[in-house]
Amino acid sequence: MDLAYLRAHPAHLPTFRTHQRIRETPVAGGHICAAARLTLDDGHSVFAKSWPEGADRPAPEGFFAAEAAGLRWLREAGAIPVPEVIVALPGLLALDWVEPGEPTPEAAERFGRELADLHRAGSPTFGAAWPGFIGSLPQDNTPTDGPWSTWFAERRLVPYLRRSVDCGALTSADAAVVEQVIGRLDGLGGDEPPARIHGDLWPGNVLWGAADRAWLIDPAAHGGHRETDLAQLALFGGIPHLDRALAAYRESWPLPAGWRERVPLHQLHLLLVHTALFGGGYRDAVLQAARAVPAPVARATVDR
């Protein structure tokens, strides 16, 4: 099987893997999927991710299709490196292999500029044209005109707050702290038309490649607020050279006044996803972010 054959017959890939007709090297694949580097007969490599064998449940319906749709949509913008989808099957996704590189200051600056270009490509609505996932959880992508504050509260905060309480990761008192933030979202400023965002842009989903390029992987892509991507880049220690990336971004596309103060608000979504998925170990991070969200302010202009 070479790349041309794989493109023409993507449904054959599982059979070739089952019969060990492809050289396969396990690689890191994140918390959810099993992953491997597949070397084809022509020497070309692809990155394959699949639902782990022996998992207690099958892959959620549409799980890999959602990621494939998001990757293609981000790639369509032609703004930032995104791996090409080679195979998208119900239980398997195969992407063009990205050769790893180093996270240099120059790569971070280029990443910041290219991320601004991606966001500027925009989206016709908040949400997306396909059902979404973030991690293994469903994410409501029903297209919505906004405003952003209402959409973000109803589609990105409330569902994962409820899941976090239901699974015991947050108490009702904890939920009340987050609900106070939700209740004043409209007064926090920062409403903008929908940007084309990655949607799950914590540092582990930035792949530093060769030639000072940073690639976007594992998206929960949709039309959202560009500040959400930027805020997520700072989570869990932040990407290398974050300040350089943000400065390059802001030089390319200045941010609305108050964006720094809104960082905890935009981080709250992904932190609630973590309590819903992984439990109370992220409780303190959720509460810290919720308490750091500023009081409502008058809407202002651009802040470089």
Domain of 129, CATH number, reads 3.90.1200.10
- Own/partner contacts of 68-71, CB < 8 Å, gap of 24 or more, are 68/93, 69/128, 69/129, 69/130, 69/221, 70/128, 70/130, 70/132, 70/199, 70/219, 70/220, 70/221, 70/222, 71/95, 71/219, 71/221
Q: How far apart are CA 277 and CA 137, in angstroms?
A: 8
Residues in the chain, how many?
Answer: 304
pLDDT one-digit tens code per residue, 153-176: 999 999 999 999 999 999 999 999
Structural domain including 263 reads: 105-303
The number of folded domains in the chain is 2
Dihedral of CA atoms 272, 128, 250, 260 in degrees, nearest 10, equals -20
Q: With contact defined as beta carbons under 8 Å apart, do 123 and 196 qualify?
A: yes
**Is the whole-model pTM more than 0.85?**
yes
Q: Are residues 50 and 180 in the same domain?
A: no
pLDDT at 4: 94
Looking at the structure, do residues 224 and 261 belong to the same domain, yes or no?
A: yes
Would you state the structure tokens that stand for residue 4, as one six-digit string?
A: 């041309």
Statement to judge: residues 171 and 289 lie in one domain:
yes
Per-residue pLDDT of the chain (304 residues; tens, 9 = 90+): 899 999 999 999 998 888 777 899 989 876 788 999 999 999 999 999 998 876 778 889 999 999 999 999 999 999 999 999 999 999 999 999 999 999 999 999 999 999 999 999 999 999 999 999 999 999 999 999 989 999 999 999 999 999 999 999 999 999 999 999 999 998 887 789 999 999 999 999 999 999 999 999 999 999 999 999 999 999 999 999 999 999 999 999 999 999 999 999 999 999 999 999 999 999 999 999 999 999 876 554 555 5
C-alpha span between 69 and 32 (Å, rounded): 19
Same domain flag for 23 and 56: yes
Q: What is residue 300's predicted lDDT score, i.e. its pLDDT?
A: 47
User: For residue 285, what pLDDT is reported?
Assistant: 98
Distance CA 70, CA 197 (A): 10
pLDDT, tens digit (0-9, with 9 covering 90-100), for 256-273:
999 999 999 999 999 999
| CA atoms of 121 and 77, how far apart (whole Å) | 6
Give me the phi and psi of 190, to 5 degrees please. Answer: 90, 5
Q: How far apart are CA 242 and CA 158, in angstroms?
A: 29
Predicted pLDDT at 283: 98
